[in-house]
A and B are shown apart, each in its own frame.
Chain A
Amino acid sequence: MAVDYRNPAATKPIRTGFSIVAYPLQAIVDAPFYLYSRVTGFFSNQSHLASENAALKEQLRLYSVQYRDMQVLEQQNARLRELLKVDKRVGYTFTMAEVIAAADERGRQVVTLNKGSRDGVHEKQVVLAEGGNIYGQVVEVTPFSSKVMELTDRQHAIPVRNQRTGMRALANGTGKSDILELKSIVAGSNVQDGDVFVSSGLDMLFPPDFPVAKVIPNGVQYIPGDPFANISARPLINFDNTREVLLLWRINPLPTQVLPPVNPSAGVMPAKPVPAVTNKKETKPANKPTNKPANKPNTKPNAANRAAEQPQ
Protein backbone atom coordinates (compact mmCIF):
# COMPACT_ATOMS: atom_id res chain seq x y z
CA MET A 1 0.00 0.00 0.00
CA ALA A 2 2.82 2.33 0.87
CA VAL A 3 4.46 1.58 -2.46
CA ASP A 4 1.23 2.22 -4.29
CA TYR A 5 0.77 5.51 -2.49
CA ARG A 6 4.31 6.77 -2.97
CA ASN A 7 4.99 5.44 -6.42
CA PRO A 8 1.89 4.41 -8.35
CA ALA A 9 4.00 3.55 -11.40
CA ALA A 10 5.57 0.59 -9.56
CA THR A 11 2.28 -1.18 -8.96
CA LYS A 12 0.89 -0.44 -12.39
CA PRO A 13 1.48 -3.93 -13.83
CA ILE A 14 -0.40 -5.50 -10.93
CA ARG A 15 -3.27 -3.12 -11.39
CA THR A 16 -3.40 -3.76 -15.10
CA GLY A 17 -3.35 -7.50 -14.55
CA PHE A 18 -6.19 -7.42 -12.08
CA SER A 19 -8.12 -5.03 -14.28
CA ILE A 20 -7.99 -7.55 -17.10
CA VAL A 21 -9.28 -10.21 -14.72
CA ALA A 22 -12.00 -7.91 -13.47
CA TYR A 23 -13.21 -6.82 -16.87
CA PRO A 24 -15.50 -9.82 -17.55
CA LEU A 25 -17.09 -9.33 -14.15
CA GLN A 26 -17.71 -5.67 -14.85
CA ALA A 27 -19.13 -6.52 -18.24
CA ILE A 28 -21.47 -9.08 -16.66
CA VAL A 29 -22.65 -6.60 -14.04
CA ASP A 30 -23.26 -4.05 -16.76
CA ALA A 31 -25.03 -6.51 -19.05
CA PRO A 32 -28.55 -6.12 -17.58
CA PHE A 33 -28.37 -2.34 -17.92
CA TYR A 34 -27.02 -2.61 -21.43
CA LEU A 35 -29.78 -5.04 -22.29
CA TYR A 36 -32.40 -2.81 -20.73
CA SER A 37 -31.34 0.19 -22.78
CA ARG A 38 -31.25 -1.98 -25.90
CA VAL A 39 -34.68 -3.46 -25.27
CA THR A 40 -36.33 -0.15 -24.46
CA GLY A 41 -34.75 1.23 -27.61
CA PHE A 42 -36.19 -1.64 -29.59
CA PHE A 43 -39.69 -1.30 -28.22
CA SER A 44 -39.96 2.45 -28.33
CA ASN A 45 -42.90 3.99 -30.08
CA GLN A 46 -42.76 4.05 -33.86
CA SER A 47 -44.14 7.57 -34.23
CA HIS A 48 -41.72 8.75 -31.60
CA LEU A 49 -38.89 7.16 -33.56
CA ALA A 50 -40.07 8.73 -36.79
CA SER A 51 -40.23 12.22 -35.32
CA GLU A 52 -36.84 11.74 -33.69
CA ASN A 53 -35.45 10.57 -36.98
CA ALA A 54 -36.81 13.62 -38.76
CA ALA A 55 -35.36 15.94 -36.15
CA LEU A 56 -31.99 14.24 -36.38
CA LYS A 57 -31.98 14.46 -40.17
CA GLU A 58 -32.73 18.15 -39.98
CA GLN A 59 -29.94 18.61 -37.48
CA LEU A 60 -27.58 16.67 -39.70
CA ARG A 61 -28.41 18.89 -42.67
CA LEU A 62 -27.80 21.95 -40.56
CA TYR A 63 -24.52 20.60 -39.28
CA SER A 64 -23.31 19.62 -42.71
CA VAL A 65 -23.81 23.19 -43.90
CA GLN A 66 -22.09 24.51 -40.81
CA TYR A 67 -19.32 22.02 -41.35
CA ARG A 68 -18.79 23.29 -44.87
CA ASP A 69 -18.52 26.77 -43.42
CA MET A 70 -16.07 25.42 -40.85
CA GLN A 71 -13.92 23.91 -43.57
CA VAL A 72 -13.69 27.25 -45.32
CA LEU A 73 -12.76 28.90 -42.06
CA GLU A 74 -10.23 26.20 -41.32
CA GLN A 75 -8.50 26.66 -44.65
CA GLN A 76 -8.52 30.38 -44.18
CA ASN A 77 -7.15 29.97 -40.70
CA ALA A 78 -4.39 27.68 -41.91
CA ARG A 79 -3.46 30.15 -44.65
CA LEU A 80 -3.40 33.08 -42.26
CA ARG A 81 -1.37 31.12 -39.76
CA GLU A 82 1.11 30.32 -42.48
CA LEU A 83 1.33 33.97 -43.40
CA LEU A 84 1.96 34.89 -39.79
CA LYS A 85 4.35 31.96 -39.43
CA VAL A 86 2.46 30.56 -36.46
CA ASP A 87 2.28 26.86 -35.66
CA LYS A 88 -0.40 24.85 -37.30
CA ARG A 89 -3.59 24.52 -35.36
CA VAL A 90 -3.98 21.25 -33.47
CA GLY A 91 -6.75 19.08 -34.82
CA TYR A 92 -8.61 16.24 -33.15
CA THR A 93 -10.32 13.01 -33.97
CA PHE A 94 -12.92 11.33 -31.80
CA THR A 95 -14.25 7.91 -30.97
CA MET A 96 -17.28 6.95 -28.95
CA ALA A 97 -16.85 4.78 -25.89
CA GLU A 98 -19.28 3.48 -23.36
CA VAL A 99 -19.08 3.67 -19.59
CA ILE A 100 -19.54 0.17 -18.25
CA ALA A 101 -18.77 0.62 -14.57
CA ALA A 102 -18.25 3.28 -11.96
CA ALA A 103 -16.04 2.91 -8.91
CA ASP A 104 -17.99 2.84 -5.68
CA GLU A 105 -15.35 4.34 -3.46
CA ARG A 106 -16.19 7.55 -1.73
CA GLY A 107 -14.23 10.50 -3.04
CA ARG A 108 -13.32 8.53 -6.10
CA GLN A 109 -14.93 9.37 -9.40
CA VAL A 110 -13.41 6.82 -11.71
CA VAL A 111 -15.29 4.98 -14.41
CA THR A 112 -14.38 2.09 -16.67
CA LEU A 113 -14.77 2.41 -20.43
CA ASN A 114 -15.21 -0.43 -22.88
CA LYS A 115 -12.32 0.71 -25.08
CA GLY A 116 -8.71 -0.16 -24.36
CA SER A 117 -5.27 -0.12 -25.89
CA ARG A 118 -6.65 -2.41 -28.61
CA ASP A 119 -8.62 0.59 -29.81
CA GLY A 120 -5.71 2.97 -29.49
CA VAL A 121 -6.57 4.39 -26.10
CA HIS A 122 -3.53 5.64 -24.22
CA GLU A 123 -2.88 7.08 -20.82
CA LYS A 124 -3.50 10.77 -20.20
CA GLN A 125 -5.91 10.86 -23.04
CA VAL A 126 -8.64 13.45 -22.81
CA VAL A 127 -12.23 12.29 -22.60
CA LEU A 128 -15.17 14.48 -23.52
CA ALA A 129 -18.83 14.00 -22.76
CA GLU A 130 -21.66 14.65 -25.12
CA GLY A 131 -21.91 18.32 -25.99
CA GLY A 132 -18.14 18.71 -26.06
CA ASN A 133 -17.61 19.36 -22.37
CA ILE A 134 -14.53 17.93 -20.74
CA TYR A 135 -15.22 14.73 -18.84
CA GLY A 136 -11.84 13.58 -17.56
CA GLN A 137 -8.65 11.81 -18.47
CA VAL A 138 -7.57 8.23 -18.92
CA VAL A 139 -5.49 6.95 -16.01
CA GLU A 140 -5.19 3.26 -16.71
CA VAL A 141 -5.32 1.18 -19.86
CA THR A 142 -5.72 -2.53 -20.39
CA PRO A 143 -6.14 -4.18 -23.79
CA PHE A 144 -9.92 -4.24 -23.46
CA SER A 145 -10.86 -1.47 -21.11
CA SER A 146 -9.61 1.75 -19.65
CA LYS A 147 -10.22 3.72 -16.48
CA VAL A 148 -11.10 7.38 -16.69
CA MET A 149 -10.71 9.80 -13.82
CA GLU A 150 -13.49 12.35 -13.87
CA LEU A 151 -12.93 16.02 -13.23
CA THR A 152 -14.71 15.65 -9.92
CA ASP A 153 -12.36 13.06 -8.46
CA ARG A 154 -10.70 14.26 -5.29
CA GLN A 155 -7.27 13.82 -6.77
CA HIS A 156 -7.97 15.57 -10.00
CA ALA A 157 -7.20 19.15 -10.89
CA ILE A 158 -7.58 21.00 -14.14
CA PRO A 159 -6.30 24.49 -15.00
CA VAL A 160 -9.16 26.71 -16.06
CA ARG A 161 -9.78 30.24 -17.19
CA ASN A 162 -12.71 32.50 -16.50
CA GLN A 163 -14.41 33.01 -19.83
CA ARG A 164 -15.51 36.54 -18.95
CA THR A 165 -12.39 38.00 -17.38
CA GLY A 166 -9.64 35.64 -18.47
CA MET A 167 -8.52 35.03 -14.90
CA ARG A 168 -6.74 31.72 -14.48
CA ALA A 169 -7.35 29.22 -11.70
CA LEU A 170 -7.14 25.57 -10.83
CA ALA A 171 -10.36 23.58 -10.54
CA ASN A 172 -10.07 20.76 -8.03
CA GLY A 173 -12.42 17.83 -7.79
CA THR A 174 -14.24 17.32 -4.51
CA GLY A 175 -15.31 13.72 -4.75
CA LYS A 176 -18.91 14.81 -5.15
CA SER A 177 -20.19 14.46 -8.65
CA ASP A 178 -21.74 17.93 -8.86
CA ILE A 179 -19.18 20.30 -7.34
CA LEU A 180 -15.77 21.53 -8.40
CA GLU A 181 -13.73 23.71 -6.13
CA LEU A 182 -11.58 26.66 -7.16
CA LYS A 183 -9.30 27.40 -4.27
CA SER A 184 -7.06 30.32 -3.45
CA ILE A 185 -8.62 32.89 -5.71
CA VAL A 186 -7.43 36.39 -4.82
CA ALA A 187 -10.33 37.98 -3.00
CA GLY A 188 -10.33 41.07 -5.18
CA SER A 189 -10.82 39.11 -8.35
CA ASN A 190 -13.98 39.71 -10.18
CA VAL A 191 -15.82 36.39 -10.17
CA GLN A 192 -19.59 36.39 -10.27
CA ASP A 193 -22.29 33.80 -9.97
CA GLY A 194 -22.89 32.18 -13.32
CA ASP A 195 -19.39 32.74 -14.65
CA VAL A 196 -18.29 29.95 -16.92
CA PHE A 197 -14.82 28.51 -16.55
CA VAL A 198 -13.21 26.99 -19.61
CA SER A 199 -10.07 24.88 -19.77
CA SER A 200 -7.00 27.01 -20.24
CA GLY A 201 -4.83 24.38 -21.88
CA LEU A 202 -1.85 25.39 -19.76
CA ASP A 203 -1.33 21.80 -18.68
CA MET A 204 -0.57 20.80 -22.29
CA LEU A 205 -3.07 17.99 -21.80
CA PHE A 206 -6.60 19.30 -21.96
CA PRO A 207 -7.44 21.23 -25.11
CA PRO A 208 -8.00 24.92 -24.43
CA ASP A 209 -11.37 26.65 -24.38
CA PHE A 210 -13.57 23.69 -23.63
CA PRO A 211 -16.25 24.50 -21.07
CA VAL A 212 -15.67 22.94 -17.66
CA ALA A 213 -17.86 24.43 -14.95
CA LYS A 214 -20.19 27.22 -14.03
CA VAL A 215 -20.15 29.09 -10.73
CA ILE A 216 -23.20 28.15 -8.68
CA PRO A 217 -25.39 30.80 -7.03
CA ASN A 218 -23.61 32.07 -3.91
CA GLY A 219 -20.68 29.95 -4.96
CA VAL A 220 -18.10 32.64 -4.26
CA GLN A 221 -17.22 32.54 -0.58
CA TYR A 222 -15.07 34.97 1.31
CA ILE A 223 -13.88 33.93 4.73
CA PRO A 224 -13.10 36.91 6.96
CA GLY A 225 -9.37 37.19 7.49
CA ASP A 226 -8.54 34.98 4.56
CA PRO A 227 -6.98 36.82 1.63
CA PHE A 228 -8.32 34.22 -0.76
CA ALA A 229 -11.79 33.30 -1.87
CA ASN A 230 -13.10 29.81 -2.39
CA ILE A 231 -15.33 29.25 -5.34
CA SER A 232 -17.74 26.38 -5.88
CA ALA A 233 -18.73 25.59 -9.42
CA ARG A 234 -20.95 23.00 -10.97
CA PRO A 235 -19.57 20.95 -13.84
CA LEU A 236 -21.47 21.37 -17.07
CA ILE A 237 -22.13 17.67 -17.41
CA ASN A 238 -24.05 15.35 -15.17
CA PHE A 239 -21.40 12.80 -14.28
CA ASP A 240 -23.90 10.45 -12.68
CA ASN A 241 -25.84 9.51 -15.77
CA THR A 242 -23.43 10.01 -18.61
CA ARG A 243 -23.11 6.75 -20.45
CA GLU A 244 -21.49 7.60 -23.77
CA VAL A 245 -18.28 9.56 -23.89
CA LEU A 246 -15.90 10.69 -26.60
CA LEU A 247 -12.24 9.78 -26.63
CA LEU A 248 -10.11 12.45 -28.21
CA TRP A 249 -6.88 12.11 -30.20
CA ARG A 250 -4.60 14.90 -31.27
CA ILE A 251 -3.91 14.72 -35.00
CA ASN A 252 -0.63 16.56 -34.97
CA PRO A 253 1.00 16.54 -31.57
CA LEU A 254 1.89 19.81 -29.95
CA PRO A 255 5.32 20.98 -31.00
CA THR A 256 7.33 21.66 -27.90
CA GLN A 257 9.65 24.36 -29.14
CA VAL A 258 9.32 25.27 -32.75
CA LEU A 259 9.74 28.95 -33.28
CA PRO A 260 12.70 30.90 -32.11
CA PRO A 261 11.59 34.31 -30.86
CA VAL A 262 12.33 35.99 -34.19
CA ASN A 263 8.69 36.54 -34.85
CA PRO A 264 7.22 39.13 -32.55
CA SER A 265 3.63 38.45 -33.57
CA ALA A 266 3.87 34.87 -32.38
CA GLY A 267 5.04 35.97 -28.99
CA VAL A 268 2.37 38.61 -28.61
CA MET A 269 -0.55 36.50 -29.68
CA PRO A 270 -1.00 34.33 -26.59
CA ALA A 271 -0.66 37.25 -24.25
CA LYS A 272 -3.43 39.21 -25.87
CA PRO A 273 -6.56 37.48 -24.64
CA VAL A 274 -5.54 38.12 -21.05
CA PRO A 275 -6.87 41.57 -20.20
CA ALA A 276 -4.74 44.08 -18.38
CA VAL A 277 -7.04 43.95 -15.38
CA THR A 278 -5.71 40.59 -14.37
CA ASN A 279 -2.12 41.66 -14.21
CA LYS A 280 -2.27 42.32 -10.51
CA LYS A 281 -3.96 39.07 -9.72
CA GLU A 282 -1.60 37.05 -11.73
CA THR A 283 0.85 36.93 -8.87
CA LYS A 284 -0.87 34.11 -7.07
CA PRO A 285 -3.16 32.06 -9.26
CA ALA A 286 -0.91 32.39 -12.25
CA ASN A 287 2.20 30.86 -10.84
CA LYS A 288 0.36 27.69 -10.08
CA PRO A 289 -0.71 26.87 -13.62
CA THR A 290 2.42 28.28 -15.22
CA ASN A 291 4.84 26.05 -13.40
CA LYS A 292 2.49 23.18 -14.02
CA PRO A 293 3.52 22.28 -17.59
CA ALA A 294 7.06 21.65 -16.41
CA ASN A 295 6.18 18.67 -14.27
CA LYS A 296 2.84 17.93 -15.81
CA PRO A 297 3.37 15.44 -18.63
CA ASN A 298 4.46 12.51 -16.51
CA THR A 299 2.96 13.17 -13.10
CA LYS A 300 -0.42 14.67 -13.65
CA PRO A 301 -2.43 12.63 -11.12
CA ASN A 302 0.44 12.88 -8.70
CA ALA A 303 0.69 16.62 -8.88
CA ALA A 304 -3.01 16.88 -8.41
CA ASN A 305 -2.69 14.45 -5.55
CA ARG A 306 -0.23 16.65 -3.75
CA ALA A 307 -2.44 19.64 -4.32
CA ALA A 308 -5.42 17.86 -2.84
CA GLU A 309 -3.34 16.59 0.02
CA GLN A 310 -2.13 19.90 1.27
CA PRO A 311 -5.28 21.28 2.92
CA GLN A 312 -5.52 18.27 5.19
Chain B
Amino acid sequence: MIENLPRFPGAIWLTLLLGLGLNNMPLPPEWAYWRPDFLVLSLIHWALAMRQNVNLFMAFFMGLLADTISYSLLGQHALGYVLVTYFAVRLSLRMSAEAFLQQFALIFIVVGIFMLINLWIRGVTGNMGAGLLYWMPLLSSLLVWPIYHGILGYFYVPRKMV
Protein backbone atom coordinates (compact mmCIF):
# COMPACT_ATOMS: atom_id res chain seq x y z
CA MET B 1 0.00 0.00 0.00
CA ILE B 2 1.22 3.46 -0.77
CA GLU B 3 0.61 6.36 1.50
CA ASN B 4 1.44 9.89 0.53
CA LEU B 5 2.98 12.39 2.87
CA PRO B 6 3.17 16.15 2.54
CA ARG B 7 6.59 17.23 1.31
CA PHE B 8 6.94 19.70 4.17
CA PRO B 9 4.70 20.75 7.04
CA GLY B 10 2.04 23.16 5.88
CA ALA B 11 2.22 22.05 2.26
CA ILE B 12 -1.54 21.59 2.09
CA TRP B 13 -2.22 25.04 3.49
CA LEU B 14 0.26 26.52 1.09
CA THR B 15 -1.45 24.99 -1.93
CA LEU B 16 -4.87 26.08 -0.68
CA LEU B 17 -3.58 29.63 -0.35
CA LEU B 18 -2.04 29.29 -3.78
CA GLY B 19 -5.44 28.32 -5.14
CA LEU B 20 -7.08 31.27 -3.42
CA GLY B 21 -4.40 33.56 -4.79
CA LEU B 22 -4.93 32.29 -8.32
CA ASN B 23 -8.66 32.82 -7.87
CA ASN B 24 -8.03 36.45 -7.13
CA MET B 25 -5.47 37.13 -9.80
CA PRO B 26 -6.63 40.15 -11.77
CA LEU B 27 -7.75 39.13 -15.25
CA PRO B 28 -9.45 41.01 -18.06
CA PRO B 29 -13.21 40.53 -17.73
CA GLU B 30 -13.61 38.40 -20.85
CA TRP B 31 -10.97 36.01 -19.52
CA ALA B 32 -12.35 36.02 -16.03
CA TYR B 33 -15.40 34.13 -17.26
CA TRP B 34 -13.12 31.19 -18.01
CA ARG B 35 -11.27 31.19 -14.74
CA PRO B 36 -11.69 27.84 -12.99
CA ASP B 37 -11.93 27.81 -9.22
CA PHE B 38 -8.39 26.76 -8.34
CA LEU B 39 -9.24 26.30 -4.71
CA VAL B 40 -11.77 23.63 -5.66
CA LEU B 41 -9.14 21.94 -7.80
CA SER B 42 -6.67 22.05 -4.90
CA LEU B 43 -9.19 20.47 -2.57
CA ILE B 44 -9.96 17.74 -5.10
CA HIS B 45 -6.28 17.14 -5.58
CA TRP B 46 -5.70 16.57 -1.89
CA ALA B 47 -8.82 14.47 -1.59
CA LEU B 48 -7.35 12.18 -4.23
CA ALA B 49 -3.79 12.22 -3.00
CA MET B 50 -4.07 12.27 0.78
CA ARG B 51 -7.60 11.95 1.92
CA GLN B 52 -6.54 11.48 5.54
CA ASN B 53 -5.02 14.92 5.68
CA VAL B 54 -7.83 17.07 4.34
CA ASN B 55 -10.59 18.01 6.67
CA LEU B 56 -13.78 19.96 6.38
CA PHE B 57 -12.70 22.69 8.79
CA MET B 58 -9.87 23.53 6.47
CA ALA B 59 -12.28 23.85 3.60
CA PHE B 60 -14.65 25.90 5.70
CA PHE B 61 -11.94 28.30 6.82
CA MET B 62 -10.69 28.79 3.29
CA GLY B 63 -14.27 29.32 2.18
CA LEU B 64 -14.81 32.10 4.69
CA LEU B 65 -11.56 33.67 3.55
CA ALA B 66 -12.74 33.50 -0.05
CA ASP B 67 -16.05 35.02 0.96
CA THR B 68 -14.49 38.04 2.60
CA ILE B 69 -12.14 38.57 -0.32
CA SER B 70 -14.84 38.39 -2.95
CA TYR B 71 -17.37 40.13 -0.70
CA SER B 72 -19.96 37.47 -1.37
CA LEU B 73 -22.46 36.30 1.22
CA LEU B 74 -20.53 35.05 4.23
CA GLY B 75 -20.64 31.27 4.00
CA GLN B 76 -21.47 30.95 0.33
CA HIS B 77 -18.07 29.71 -0.74
CA ALA B 78 -17.53 28.02 2.61
CA LEU B 79 -20.55 25.79 2.10
CA GLY B 80 -19.45 25.06 -1.44
CA TYR B 81 -15.91 24.09 -0.45
CA VAL B 82 -17.07 21.90 2.41
CA LEU B 83 -19.37 20.00 0.07
CA VAL B 84 -16.63 19.79 -2.54
CA THR B 85 -14.26 18.24 -0.03
CA TYR B 86 -16.87 15.85 1.26
CA PHE B 87 -17.90 14.59 -2.16
CA ALA B 88 -14.37 14.45 -3.45
CA VAL B 89 -13.24 12.34 -0.51
CA ARG B 90 -16.26 10.06 -0.79
CA LEU B 91 -15.97 9.60 -4.53
CA SER B 92 -12.21 9.23 -4.50
CA LEU B 93 -12.63 5.92 -2.71
CA ARG B 94 -14.39 4.49 -5.72
CA MET B 95 -11.80 5.17 -8.34
CA SER B 96 -8.19 4.60 -9.11
CA ALA B 97 -6.09 7.68 -8.88
CA GLU B 98 -4.39 7.08 -12.21
CA ALA B 99 -7.38 6.85 -14.52
CA PHE B 100 -7.77 10.24 -16.14
CA LEU B 101 -11.26 9.75 -17.47
CA GLN B 102 -12.47 8.84 -14.00
CA GLN B 103 -10.80 11.93 -12.62
CA PHE B 104 -12.50 14.06 -15.25
CA ALA B 105 -15.86 12.60 -14.33
CA LEU B 106 -15.21 13.29 -10.67
CA ILE B 107 -14.15 16.86 -11.33
CA PHE B 108 -17.11 17.43 -13.57
CA ILE B 109 -19.50 16.28 -10.88
CA VAL B 110 -17.85 18.01 -7.96
CA VAL B 111 -17.26 21.34 -9.69
CA GLY B 112 -20.78 21.12 -11.06
CA ILE B 113 -22.19 20.75 -7.56
CA PHE B 114 -20.07 23.64 -6.34
CA MET B 115 -21.23 25.95 -9.10
CA LEU B 116 -24.83 24.88 -8.74
CA ILE B 117 -24.80 25.77 -5.06
CA ASN B 118 -23.21 29.11 -5.77
CA LEU B 119 -25.80 29.78 -8.42
CA TRP B 120 -28.62 28.90 -6.05
CA ILE B 121 -27.41 31.14 -3.28
CA ARG B 122 -26.88 33.91 -5.71
CA GLY B 123 -30.35 33.46 -7.16
CA VAL B 124 -31.92 33.58 -3.72
CA THR B 125 -30.08 36.75 -2.78
CA GLY B 126 -30.78 38.42 -6.11
CA ASN B 127 -27.35 38.36 -7.68
CA MET B 128 -27.95 36.34 -10.80
CA GLY B 129 -25.09 36.22 -13.25
CA ALA B 130 -24.73 35.93 -16.99
CA GLY B 131 -26.55 32.88 -18.46
CA LEU B 132 -24.53 30.15 -20.07
CA LEU B 133 -21.23 31.95 -19.60
CA TYR B 134 -21.54 31.10 -15.94
CA TRP B 135 -20.80 27.45 -16.67
CA MET B 136 -17.61 28.04 -18.63
CA PRO B 137 -15.32 27.31 -15.63
CA LEU B 138 -16.73 23.79 -15.67
CA LEU B 139 -14.98 23.25 -19.00
CA SER B 140 -11.86 25.15 -18.15
CA SER B 141 -11.43 23.21 -14.88
CA LEU B 142 -11.18 20.04 -16.95
CA LEU B 143 -8.64 21.66 -19.25
CA VAL B 144 -6.53 23.05 -16.44
CA TRP B 145 -6.73 19.97 -14.22
CA PRO B 146 -3.90 17.85 -15.72
CA ILE B 147 -1.44 20.74 -15.48
CA TYR B 148 -2.55 21.87 -12.05
CA HIS B 149 -2.63 18.31 -10.76
CA GLY B 150 0.91 17.85 -12.04
CA ILE B 151 2.16 20.99 -10.34
CA LEU B 152 0.53 20.12 -7.04
CA GLY B 153 2.11 16.69 -7.32
CA TYR B 154 5.32 18.33 -6.17
CA PHE B 155 3.84 19.00 -2.76
CA TYR B 156 3.65 15.40 -1.59
CA VAL B 157 5.96 12.41 -1.56
CA PRO B 158 4.73 8.85 -1.94
CA ARG B 159 5.90 6.45 0.73
CA LYS B 160 5.59 2.73 0.77
CA MET B 161 3.96 1.24 3.81
CA VAL B 162 4.78 -2.25 4.90
- Which residues of A come within 8 Å of B, CB atoms? 1, 4-5, 11, 14-15, 18-19, 21-22, 25-26, 28-29, 33, 101-108, 110, 112, 139-140, 147, 149, 154-155, 175, 177, 240, 305, 308-309, 312
Contacts and interface: CB of A to CB of B under 8 A. Distances in A.
B127 A106 contact: yes
Interface stretch (B47-55, B68-76, B151-159): B68-76
A109 B65 CA distance: 18
Given A15-B68, A22-B68, A106 B129 contact: yes
A125 B124 CA distance: 29
A102 B134 CA distance: 18
Interface in B116-162: 121-122, 125-130, 134
A11 B70 contact: no
B17 A25 contact: yes
Contacts of A4: 73-75
Contacts of A305: 126
Contact of A104 (B32, B68, B121): B32
Interface in B69-108: 69-76, 79
B26 A154 contact: no
* SS class, residues of chain A in contact with chain B: mixed
Given A1-B79, A21-B65, A106-B134, A14 B70 contact: no
B127 A1 contact: no
B74 A26 contact: no
Nearest to B129: A106
Contacts of A33: 26
B68 A19 contact: yes
21 contacts: A1-B75, A1-B76, A5-B125, A11-B74, A15-B74, A18-B64, A18-B67, A22-B65, A22-B68, A22-B69, A25-B17, A25-B65, A29-B21, A103-B69, A103-B72, A104-B23, A104-B27, A105-B127, A106-B122, A107-B128, A312-B126
B24 A26 contact: yes
Contacts of B25: 29
Contacts of B69: 19, 22, 25-26, 101, 103, 112
A147 B71 CA distance: 9
A29 B24 contact: yes
A26 B69 CA distance: 8
B126 A110 contact: no
B71 A103 contact: yes
Nearest to B23: A104
Contact of B24 (A1, A101, A154, A240): A101
Q: Taking each of B21, B25, B72, B134, which has the highest tally of chain A beta carbons within 10 Å of its own beta carbon?
A: B72
A15 B130 CA distance: 27
Given A14-B74, A29-B25, A105-B72, 5 more contacts: A22-B65, A104-B32, A106-B122, A154-B126, A308-B126
